[in-house]
């Protein structure tokens, strides 16, 4: 009798996990279809006990999906709605990482020029968008990222470099 109850519980757990996986795949397919048809964003209603995604996670997913598919118009809508265009996923990858890895020059240009995102963010493995574009052989994206990388120097880094230079000069003068 106890074996049957344990088996029944295991089956229910497996079914619930399986249903969540099926729902995730279904949602991804529907989002791709909506994006392909140019219908904008889609609201999906799913029973909350099966599948619930916090609003911020949805925001990151939508942003990275638009970068992945090269959908500049969706990214423009997100930027106009004051969405943080530098949001990161669980691997600390940004839309710029994804667009660079996919070779979407227009998306990379939009993020850098219009949104003024940081051109050198690092993901959890220490890779930058430039590393991604280089790895996947997207030469036009590499060139664009190098141009912005050369222009971009964080303010903190400039002041830290000046402080270090002053300390180094002072120590040279003391000897």
Angle ∠(28,31,35) on CA atoms, nearest 5: 140
State pLDDT tens for residues 125-158.
999 999 999 999 999 999 999 999 888 765 555 5
19: left (phi over 0), alpha (psi -120 to 50) or beta: alpha
Contact 105, 142 (CB under 8 A): no
Least confidently predicted of 71-75, 84-88, 90-94, 160-164: 160-164
Alpha carbons 63 and 58: distance in angstroms, whole number? 8
State pLDDT tens for residues 90-133.
899 999 999 999 999 999 999 999 999 999 999 999 999 999 99
Over range 3-27, report the average pLDDT: 59
Contact 115, 85 (CB under 8 A): yes
Nearest C-alpha neighbor of 96 from the set 104, 80, 126, 32: 104
Domains of the chain are 1-44 (no CATH), 53-174 (1.25.40.20)
pLDDT at residue 98, rounded to an integer: 96
Read off the pLDDT band of 63 (50, 70, 90): very high
Read off the pLDDT band of 48 (50, 70, 90): very low
């Amino acid at each position: 009798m106890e074996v049957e109850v344990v088996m029944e519980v295991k089956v229910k757990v497996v079914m619930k996990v399986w249903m969540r996986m099926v729902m995730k795949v279904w949602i991804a397919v529907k989002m791709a279809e909506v994006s392909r048809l140019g219908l904008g964003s889609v609201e999906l209603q799913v029973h909350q006990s099966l599948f619930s995604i916090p609003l911020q996670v949805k925001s990151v997913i939508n942003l990275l999906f638009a970068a992945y598919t090269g959908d500049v118009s969706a990214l423009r809508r997100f930027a106009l709605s004051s969405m943080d265009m530098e949001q990161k996923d669980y691997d600390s990858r940004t839309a710029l990482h994804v667009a660079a890895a996919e070779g979407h020059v227009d998306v990379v240009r939009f993020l850098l020029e219009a949104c003024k995102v940081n051109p050198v963010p690092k993901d959890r493995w220490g890779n930058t968008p430039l590393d991604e574009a280089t790895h996947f052989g997207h030469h036009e994206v590499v060139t664009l990222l190098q141009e912005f990388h050369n222009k971009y120097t964080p303010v903190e880094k400039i002041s830290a470099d000046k402080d270090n230079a002053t300390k180094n000069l002072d120590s040279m003068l003391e000897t």
